[in-house]
Chains A and B, each alone.
Chain A
């Protein structure tokens, strides 16, 4: 991922939890794909004018939300559903910790901006440019910098995974563990 240019889908609400993003009844899957059609399932059913129900929003790649997006359950299904639906970027006032980690592990770029800016983007009907390389968001005549951990940025740009890195450190991990004393034993159970 480098640059995403798209109109946005604005769901400017605070504290959107992962139960809302993907309700528990859809967590029974044993694969990752196909969850996009269940994204925000209950809101889509309850509110006929919910943004994901509107034809003009189809194919948009940037989701815009309020504060504390992705709070609650650790279910990575929330990130899988967002990604499977086709979103590549989530712009929000703030993110919950576990969701933030899950998003980046699934090639979703989380962008944190000030409330007023996020609100304007949410209402903006034109194309928004999110440039990961230079860490900038541009829309209308406005431009804002966003921050991202340099390792996470590399992972997104080069589609690297933590697993590759950790596996490359296995010898160091084994050396560290040698002689480390534990006071529990699962074989006694």
Chain B
């Protein structure tokens, strides 16, 4: 029988299948952060359970960490308690933690790949919906709730119903100025925010093969925004090249032989198939309150837009999205906080100035990304332009750490969600690529980056 990558991984990790019970699925790697883990550790403690395998857990602090200069001093006592609770739990249970200034700290979905822990054919979970990011390597990776975080800690396994299979094929040729972020926003705008619910999406087509690993991660990262359980891409030479020499990888040559088996057989059947044509598309921008409400930057706000969304964002049907003034810019997050994202933004900021009245946060996804940016001199490009080049973390993507967009202010953001209040109470978010966000910073309004 012909099998997809997802089916091959599922079968390889299927511990037990019993009538009347969900499958027992082995989980290879668990990523842990401070927000969704305390109650899971507590559950283990109350049941007198130990970790199943310390070698499969890695923790870091990302959601709550300040990104300013004195980031080690967390002024909010509740945030501080959550970070300290993770430290204590990791100490007690013997979990490896990458804390601030370890040179390996960062957003979980940025550090997993950069340490070489994310590999083809693996099952990876984290108490975080953007775990889908790791699917870019041909891994089955998905977000779980805290109860399931506890299950994996204690048993190395999860009870899972098998999702359905969906294929998204990107066709056409990517034109200049079109990023991975634009491509994934276009897909979500076409299939809708629940178009992938119940499915694992496999992304196919030459468009994907031509993307770098970091671009692939941007697309898989946002798989959850159309409701899918996970996004996955076939590993290839680009994947192996990325992983080669990374510190977490063992027995590389033997590994590659194994990884090569995790591609879909030709002629596989899927429960749902979608084609997205990327020829002639322009840069995408969200206008509304969910990531599916995205349009080409040259377009106007659709006539059939929902009243509630329009009222919240303060825009009107038929209004051009280009030209809408912005107050804040956020460049970072697990979607677009990697070095290639910072390079794209820096290209726009070089020898230009941020518009008056606009505050720009550039937040590297990890300490390693920050270090690379400094080595390449990108930090100075940002600072010269008038941006704040900050310390790594989730920051303004979800505004848990104090970095937030004030009530009623509008932000051009490279993050993944434009939900009501996501970047702070009353904040208005427009999602876009790093280059588009940088262009918006320069102009003080949303603009087609191809004009710069």
Residue of B nearest to A43 (CB): B420
A27 touching B400 by the CB < 8 A rule? Answer: yes
B49 touching A167 by the CB < 8 A rule? Answer: yes
A24 touching B398 by the CB < 8 A rule? Answer: yes
Supposing A162-B159, A173-B157 touch, asked if A186 and B82 sit within 8 A by C-beta, the answer is no
B189 interface residue (CB < 8 Å to A): no
B179 interface residue (CB < 8 Å to A): no
A-B contact pairs, 11 of them (CB 8 A): A17-B419, A29-B38, A30-B81, A42-B425, A71-B290, A97-B163, A167-B154, A173-B157, A183-B254, A189-B58, A189-B115
Binding site for A on B (CB under 8 A): 15-16, 20-22, 24, 26, 28-29, 35-36, 38-39, 42-43, 47, 49, 52-53, 55-58, 63-64, 76, 78-79, 81-82, 85, 96, 104, 115-117, 119, 122, 127-129, 131, 143-148, 150-151, 154-159, 161, 163, 193-194, 197-198, 224-225, 227, 229, 247-252, 254-255, 258-259, 290, 308, 398-400, 417, 419-422, 425
- Name B157's contact: one of A24, A71, A74, A166 (CB within 8 Å): A166
Q: What's the least CB distance linking B98 to chain A, in Å? A: 8
A51 interface residue (CB < 8 Å to B): no
9 closest residue pairs by CB, A with B: A76-B145, A183-B255, A30-B38, A74-B143, A102-B145, A68-B194, A28-B78, A74-B129, A76-B146
What residues on B are CB-neighbors of A30 within 8 Å? 38-39, 42, 81-82, 85
- Indicate with 1 or 0, residue by residue over A160-189, a CB within 8 angstroms of chain B CB atoms: 011101110110110011001111111111
A186 touching B290 by the CB < 8 A rule? Answer: no
What residues on B are CB-neighbors of A180 within 8 Å? 26
A86 interface residue (CB < 8 Å to B): no
A20 interface residue (CB < 8 Å to B): yes
What residues on B are CB-neighbors of A186 within 8 Å? 55-58, 96, 117, 248
Q: What's the least CB distance linking B253 to chain A, in Å? A: 10
Supposing A15-B193, A27-B400, A76-B146 touch, asked if A185 and B250 sit within 8 A by C-beta, the answer is yes
B421 touching A42 by the CB < 8 A rule? Answer: yes
What residues on B are CB-neighbors of A28 within 8 Å? 35, 64, 76, 78-79, 81-82, 400
Tell me the complex Cα distance, A37–B127, Å. Answer: 23
Q: What's the least CB distance linking B159 to chain A, in Å? A: 5
B55 touching A71 by the CB < 8 A rule? Answer: no
B129 touching A188 by the CB < 8 A rule? Answer: no
Tell me the complex Cα distance, A161–B422, Å. Answer: 32
B129 touching A105 by the CB < 8 A rule? Answer: no
Supposing A173-B156, A187-B55 touch, asked if A97 and B15 sit within 8 A by C-beta, the answer is no
What residues on A are CB-neighbors of B26 within 8 Å? 173, 176-177, 180
What residues on B are CB-neighbors of A167 within 8 Å? 47, 49, 154-155
B400 touching A166 by the CB < 8 A rule? Answer: no
Residue of B nearest to A152 (CB): B22
Binding site for B on A (CB under 8 A): 13, 15, 17, 19-20, 23-25, 27-32, 42, 45, 67-68, 71-76, 79, 94, 96-98, 101-102, 105-106, 149-151, 161-163, 165-167, 169-170, 172-173, 176-177, 180-189
What residues on B are CB-neighbors of A173 within 8 Å? 15, 24, 26, 52, 155-157
Q: What's the least CB distance linking A66 to chain B, in Å? A: 11
B420 touching A182 by the CB < 8 A rule? Answer: no
A98 touching B400 by the CB < 8 A rule? Answer: no
- Name B21's contact: one of A73, A102, A165, A189 (CB within 8 Å): A165
A189 touching B104 by the CB < 8 A rule? Answer: yes
What residues on B are CB-neighbors of A150 within 8 Å? 20
Residue of A nearest to B47 (CB): A163
What residues on B are CB-neighbors of A105 within 8 Å? 145, 147-148
Tell me the complex Cα distance, A83–B142, Å. Answer: 24
A185 touching B85 by the CB < 8 A rule? Answer: no
Given contacts A28-B76, A29-B82, A98-B144, 19 further A-B contacts (CB under 8 A): A13-B308, A15-B194, A19-B421, A20-B421, A25-B400, A28-B35, A28-B81, A30-B42, A74-B128, A74-B145, A151-B20, A162-B159, A163-B155, A169-B24, A172-B16, A182-B28, A183-B119, A184-B119, A184-B249
